[in-house]
C-alpha cells in the first residue's frame, strides 16, 4: 500500500534544473517533493561539467609546463600520476557535493525520494512506494549519452562520460567518437595527459560553429598531436589486438583503426522513456518533452520541463529554465525563454564561447549584419601571456545593435560574460565602447572590436569638415 503525498510541487530529477526549482520553491515556503533515482547533483556534478573541467584543468597544467620555455623557464618533462589526477577529480566532486546534497534539501524542508519516478495519470506520480499528487510537476530528468547504431558496438566495451572519469589509469590509445563540445575537449585533454588520441567525426568538427572558429580548435588539436579525422564514418566495431578495432570509411575509402579504448561522445538523448509520459498525456519527441515558450507541456498544463529534457544543452540553461518556470508556478506570471541570451562554451584550448547569433546563422536567416573582428595577437595582454591564438567576432546588426559574439582564446568563457549581459539587456555597440577597460587585459578585445564599428564615421568628410571648422575657434 503506497503512501499518499500531496505537495504543491513535485520535481523529477536532482540535477541542475531540478535542484534550482526545488531550492527556490522552498525558499518561498512552497511544499516540495523531489525525486531522484541516481546521484544528487545529476550530470553536472557527477559525470559532466565538474569532472570534465577538473580533468581539463589537470591537462592544462601539463601543457603549460611543456610551454614554460616561452617565458625563459626550463622544466623537465612532466610526470603524470594518473591515480593522483583521478584523486584530484574526485576531490573536486566531493568538495562541491554538499551544495547539491539531500541533507541540504532536507534542511530547506523539501522531501527527497530516492527512486525512479513514473507518471500514472495526469497529476499522479509513483516513486519508491509513494503516490504523489501535486498541483504542479517539473520534469528535470536530463539526458543520457547517445550511442550510435554502429554494428558491433553493443558487443564491445566502450566508455562514455558516465564511466571515463572513474578511470584511474590512462587509455594508451584513445579513440573518441564525436567531434562536438565533449569530444573535442576530451580528445585534447587526454592527448595532453599522454594518451595517443584519434578523434573521429561523421561530418565536420564543431559543426554548429562558424568554420573559422572550429578551425582554430582543429588546428590546435592537430598541432598537439591529435589525429583528427573528419567526414569519417565507423562502419563496424569489434574487439581487436590492442582492445578495440574500428572499421572506417572516408571519401569512399575503407580503413581500419586500432585503439585501446573507445569514448563515445556522439550527442545526448533526453531521459523520457521511463517517465510514463503517455499515461499523463504529455507530448514528446526525440528531442524531449514538447513545451511552449514558457517551458509548459503543450498537452498537460500541470507539467513543466526544464534543462536537457526541454532542449537545454548546459547547466546554465537548466538553471535559467529552473528560475523561469517558477514565475508561472509560484506567482502565476508569464514566462518566455530567450534562447538568444544563453551562452555556449567549448572547453578546449583555445576555448570557444559564444552568445547570440553567429555568422553562419545570420547568413542562413538572411539577416543584415557586419562582422567586427579583433585578433588576440593584437592584444597586449595576450602577447604578454603568449596566448595569441584566437579572436573575437562580434555580429553587428542595424543601428549598432548586437546580434551575437563569439570569442576564441584562452579563458574565452570568462570573457563572454559581458557580451551575455549586453544581449540580455539589449545594450548597443555604443554601450560596449562606453566604459573604461582595464589595461592590459584580454577583455579589451571586445571593446576594440566594438570601436571598429564606428571607424567609418571618423572618416566621414562632414565630420572631418566640422572638426576643421571647430579648430578655427582656437
Ligand X SMILES: NC(=O)c1ccc[n+]([C@@H]2O[C@H](COP(=O)([O-])OP(=O)(O)OC[C@H]3O[C@@H](n4cnc5c(N)ncnc54)[C@H](O)[C@@H]3O)[C@@H](O)[C@H]2O)c1
**Which residues contribute to the site for ligand X (CB under 6 A)?**
148, 150, 177-183, 200-203, 207, 234, 265-268, 313-314, 344-345
Q: State the Cα angle at 82 between 80 and 87, rounded to 5°.
A: 120
Q: How far is CA 95 from CA 14, 46, 99, 342, 347, in A?
A: 18, 12, 9, 27, 22
271 near ligand FAD, rule: CB under 6 A: yes
Query: Of 179 and 390, which CB lies nearer to ligand X in the complex structure?
Result: 179
Give the total of residues touching ligand FAD (CB under 6 A): 38
Q: Do 14 and 34 meet the contact criterion of CB atoms below 8 Å apart?
A: yes
Strands 344-346 and 143-145, by their bridges, are: unpaired
Query: Of 201 and 308, which CB lies nearer to ligand FAD in the complex structure?
Result: 308
Residue 165: closest CA among 91, 101, 229, 238: 91
Q: Of 15-23, 150-158, 420-428, 449-457, which part binds ligand FAD (CB under 6 A)?
A: 15-23
Looking from the CA of 296 toward its CB, the CA atoms found within 13 Å total 16
15 near ligand FAD, rule: CB under 6 A: yes
Query: Of 125 and 185, which CB lies nearer to ligand X in the complex structure?
Result: 185
Shortest spacing between CB 344 and ligand X, in angstroms: 5
Q: Do 82 and 55 meet the contact criterion of CB atoms below 8 Å apart?
A: no
Residue 282: closest CA among 267, 266, 269, 295: 295
Q: How far is CA 343 from CA 11, 15, 279, in A?
A: 25, 19, 35
344 near ligand FAD, rule: CB under 6 A: no
- Out of 14, 22, 124, 282, which residue is the one contacting ligand FAD (CB under 6 A)? 14
Q: At 263, which helix (H) or strand (E)?
A: strand 261-264
Residue nearest to ligand X (CB): 180
Query: Of 315 and 379, which CB lies nearer to ligand FAD in the complex structure?
Result: 315
* Range 99-138, binding ligand FAD (CB under 6 A): 116-117
- Out of 178, 183, 307, 443, which residue is the one contacting ligand FAD (CB under 6 A)? 307
Given 3-state DSSP classes, what are the helix, strand and coil percentages for the chain, each rounded to the nearest 5?
40, 25, 35
Shortest spacing between CB 306 and ligand FAD, in angstroms: 7
Written as nine digits, the cell of 13 is: 530529477
Binding partner at 267 among ligand FAD, ligand X, none, C-beta below 5 to 8 Å by kind:
ligand X
What does the alpha-carbon distance between residue 312 and residue 9 come to, in Å, rounded to a whole number?
A: 21
Shortest spacing between CB 48 and ligand X, in angstroms: 7
- Out of 25, 33, 42, 403, which residue is the one contacting ligand FAD (CB under 6 A)? 42
Binding partner at 358 among ligand X, ligand FAD, none, C-beta below 5 to 8 Å by kind:
none
Cα 222 to its chain centre, rounded Å, is 23
Enumerate the known binding-site residues for NAD(+): 201, 267
Enumerate the known binding-site residues for FAD: 53, 308
Chain residues in the site for ligand FAD (CB under 6 A): 12-18, 35-38, 42-44, 48-49, 52-53, 116-117, 140-143, 161, 182, 271, 274-275, 307-308, 312-316, 318, 347
Amino acid at each position: 500500500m503506497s503512501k499518499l503525498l500531496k505537495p504543491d510541487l513535485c520535481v523529477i530529477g536532482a540535477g541542475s534544473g531540478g535542484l534550482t526549482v526545488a531550492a527556490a520553491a522552498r525558499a518561498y515556503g512552497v511544499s516540495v517533493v523531489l525525486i531522484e533515482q541516481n546521484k544528487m547533483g545529476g550530470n553536472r556534478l557527477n559525470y559532466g561539467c565538474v569532472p570534465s573541467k577538473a580533468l581539463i584543468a589537470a591537462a592544462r597544467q601539463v601543457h603549460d609546463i611543456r610551454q614554460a620555455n616561452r617565458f625563459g623557464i626550463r622544466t623537465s618533462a612532466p610526470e603524470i600520476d594518473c591515480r593522483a589526477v583521478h584523486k584530484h577529480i574526485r576531490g573536486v566532486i566531493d568538495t562541491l557535493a554538499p551544495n547539491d546534497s539531500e541533507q541540504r534539501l532536507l534542511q530547506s524542508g523539501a522531501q527527497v525520494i530516492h527512486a525512479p519516478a513514473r507518471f500514472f495519470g495526469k497529476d499522479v506520480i509513483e516513486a519508491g512506494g509513494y503516490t504523489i499528487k501535486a498541483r504542479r510537476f517539473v520534469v528535470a530528468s536530463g539526458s543520457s549519452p547517445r550511442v550510435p547504431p554502429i554494428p558491433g558496438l553493443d558487443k564491445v566495451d566502450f566508455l562514455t562520460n558516465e564511466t571515463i572519469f572513474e578511470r584511474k589509469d590512462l587509455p594508451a590509445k584513445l579513440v573518441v567518437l564525436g567531434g562536438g563540445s565533449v569530444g573535442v575537449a576530451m580528445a585534447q585533454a587526454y592527448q595532453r595527459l599522454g594518451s595517443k588520441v584519434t578523434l573521429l567525426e561523421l561530418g565536420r568538427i564543431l559543426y554548429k560553429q562558424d568554420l573559422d572558429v572550429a578551425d582554430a580548435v582543429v588546428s590546435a588539436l592537430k598541432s598537439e598531436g591529435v589525429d583528427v579525422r573528419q567526414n569519417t564514418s565507423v562502419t563496424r566495431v569489434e574487439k581487436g589486438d590492442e582492445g578495440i578495432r574500428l572499421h572506417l570509411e572516408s571519401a569512399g575509402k575503407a580503413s581500419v583503426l586500432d585503439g585501446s579504448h573507445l569514448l563515445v561522445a556522439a550527442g545526448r538523448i533526453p531521459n523520457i522513456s521511463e517517465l510514463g509520459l503517455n499515461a499523463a498525456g504529455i507530448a514528446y519527441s526525440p528531442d524531449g518533452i514538447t513545451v511552449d515558450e514558457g517551458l509548459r507541456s503543450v498537452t498537460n498544463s500541470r507539467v513543466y520541463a526544464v534543462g536537457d529534457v526541454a532542449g537545454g544543452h548546459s547547466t546554465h540553461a537548466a538553471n535559467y529554465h529552473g528560475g523561469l518556470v517558477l514565475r508561472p508556478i509560484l506567482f502565476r506570471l508569464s514566462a518566455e525563454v530567450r534562447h538568444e541570451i544563453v551562452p555556449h562554451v567549448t572547453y578546449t584550448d583555445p576555448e570557444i564561447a559564444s552568445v547570440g547569433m553567429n555568422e553562419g546563422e545570420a547568413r542562413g536567416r538572411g539577416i543584415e549584419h557586419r562582422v567586427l573582428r579583433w585578433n588576440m595577437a593584437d592584444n597586449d595582454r595576450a602577447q604578454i601571456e603568449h596566448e595569441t591564438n584566437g579572436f573575437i567576432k562580434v555580429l553587428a546588426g542595424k543601428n549598432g545593435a548586437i546580434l551575437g559574439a563569439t570569442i576564441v582564446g584562452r579563458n574565452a568563457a570568462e570573457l563572454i560574460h559581458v557580451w551575455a549581459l549586453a544581449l540580455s539587456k539589449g545594450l548597443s555597440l555604443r554601450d560596449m565602447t562606453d566604459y573604461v577597460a582595464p589595461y592590459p587585459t584580454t577583455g579589451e578585445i571586445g571593446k576594440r572590436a566594438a570601436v571598429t564599428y564606428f571607424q567609418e564615421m571618423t572618416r566621414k568628410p562632414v565630420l572631418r569638415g566640422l572638426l576643421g571648422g571647430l579648430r578655427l575657434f582656437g
